[in-house]
């Protein structure tokens, strides 16, 4: 486990202890204690400890790398840089005033470019977050991450975290060394949100560009703009700015927390995929994504049918429009359910809403409609479902309708 023993407090009384050396840069660093934010933030926090309210929320910040921790050759470089080059200590030192929002502890969990995120990374991160949130001396978690796969990591945690305490992810489009770097403001907003009582029970949230997004809805909508994230169709949950939080609506899907098997509209009853022991990447079903496009060849699907080892357990197809499929691809995909390979239809459109039975006769073919989940999030839900022993198309459709 990558967190201190439960008997070891995160936030000791009095001045903060000295910062230990940060973990070495790596995809999944060796276990080390969560420690208070590094200088100069830790020093300021220690001096201000006596003046802090006793009820100041306690937030743990986990760093995973990404552009928010990126470093370029000069301040004029916003496109050429190394992601994950700077430690979390450096990021925290660039955000004055965090100690007025919450008592802060930090840990460098990983230092990767998020394009390289793996199932090992996702499983390790969800185990870490669950272990941190299980502690009585922690009120919320903030995770710094790269933008490229943030929506996938956020949704994975949305499904696998077993606590209703706030989990807030944030990122940046400009490296930390660039002119007008957007990371410090986003990190300030993320801590503001994680410390807010209104964020509890909302599942995993994304704080970016003063907006609050649900992990279920958020997508990276721009490859270059600082306003890179959006929640198509549903819109943002609310806003966070200058230490203020406002929610316009609540997350309505099943997500984080203890699962009761009920879904009551505006209130959620937890995710069946949240488990204290966590998931191991080696135990997860293999699910791939294929794309329907003009002139598509079904040769990949044909190869799946010839794979006697049965490595792939499911396929998500990014269709056109309402999940419609090229006739040649549909004919090939129709073979898969009979061979025990699940098929989920999504769409390559930005605003996704794939309706069951529209464009394709799902019931006849044994396909599942993803609803408003894009292909990348649909893949994560499908691999968790298959790994949990849920494989029948009707049961899978029930899950996709709820999650």
| Residues annotated as catalytic (active site), given as ranges | 67, 147
CA separation for the pair 34, 9 (Å, rounded): 10
Nearest to 172 by CA among 143, 146, 210, 149: 146
Question: And the tokens for 286?
Answer: 């293999």
Task: Find tokens 């300030």 and name the residue.
Answer: 188
Bond prior to 87 in cis (omega within 30° of 0) = no
Q: What is the 3-state secondary structure (H, E, C) of the chain?
A: CCCCCCCCCCCCCCCCCCCCCCCCCCCCCCCCCCEECCCCHHHHHHHCHHHCCCCCCEEEEEEEECHHHCEECCCCCCCCEECCCCCHHHHHHCCCCHHHHCEEEEEEEEEECHHHCCHHHHHHHHHHHHHHHCCCCCCEEEEECCCCCHHHHHHHHHHHCCCCCCEEEECCCCCCCCCCCCHHHHHHHHHHHHCCHHHCCCCEEEEECCEEEECCCCEECCCCCCCCEECCCCCCCEEEECCEEEECCCCCCCCCCCCCCCCECCECCCCCCCCCCCCCHHHCCEEEEEECCCCCCCHHHHHHHHCCCCCEEEEEEEEECCCECCHHHHHHHCCCHHHCCEEEEEECCCCCCECCCCCCCHHHHCCEECECCCHHHHHHHHHHHHHCCCCCHHHHHHHHHHC
Q: Are 148 and 52 in contact (CB under 8 A)?
A: no
């Amino acid at each position: 486990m990558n967190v201190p023993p439960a008997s070891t407090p995160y936030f000791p009384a009095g001045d903060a202890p000295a910062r230990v050396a940060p973990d070495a840069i790596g995809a999944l660093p060796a276990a080390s204690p969560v420690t208070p934010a590094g200088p100069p933030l830790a020093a300021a926090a220690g001096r201000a400890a006596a003046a802090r309210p006793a009820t100041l929320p306690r937030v743990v910040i986990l760093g995973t790398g990404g552009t928010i921790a990126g470093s370029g050759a000069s301040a004029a470089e916003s496109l050429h840089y190394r992601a994950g080059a700077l430690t979390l200590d450096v990021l925290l030192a660039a955000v004055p005033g965090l100690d007025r929002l919450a008592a802060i502890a930090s840990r460098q969990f990983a230092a990767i470019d998020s394009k390289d995120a793996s199932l090992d990374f996702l499983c390790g991160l969800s185990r870490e977050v669950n272990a941190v949130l299980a502690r009585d001396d922690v009120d919320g978690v903030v995770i710094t991450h790269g933008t490229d796969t943030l929506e996938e990591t956020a949704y994975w945690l949305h499904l696998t975290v077993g606590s209703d305490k706030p989990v807030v992810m944030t990122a940046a489009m400009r490296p930390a060394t660039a002119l007008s770097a957007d990371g410090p403001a986003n990190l300030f907003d993320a801590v503001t949100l994680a410390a807010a009582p209104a964020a509890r029970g909302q599942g995993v949230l994304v704080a970016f560009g003063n907006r609050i997004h649900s992990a279920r809805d958020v997508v990276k909508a721009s490859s270059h703009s600082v306003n890179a994230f959006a929640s198509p169709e549903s819109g943002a949950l609310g806003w966070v700015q200058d230490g203020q939080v406002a929610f316009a609506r609540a997350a309505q899907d099943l997500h984080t927390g203890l699962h009761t098997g009920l879904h009551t509209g505006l209130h959620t009853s937890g995710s069946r995929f949240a488990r204290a022991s966590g998931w191991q990447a080696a135990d997860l079903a293999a699910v791939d994504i294929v794309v329907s496009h003009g002139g598509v060849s079904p040769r990949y699907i044909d190869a799946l049918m010839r794979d006697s080892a049965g490595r792939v357990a499911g396929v998500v197809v990014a269709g056109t429009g309402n999940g419609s499929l090229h006739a040649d691809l549909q004919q090939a995909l129709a073979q898969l359910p009979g061979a025990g390979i699940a098929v989920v239809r999504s769409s390559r459109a930005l605003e996704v809403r794939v309706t069951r039975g529209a464009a394709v006769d799902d019931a006849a073919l044994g396909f599942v409609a993803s609803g408003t989940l894009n292909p990348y999030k649909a893949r994560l839900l499908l691999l968790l479902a298959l790994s949990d022993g849920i494989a029948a198309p009707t049961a899978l459709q029930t899950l996709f309708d709820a999650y």
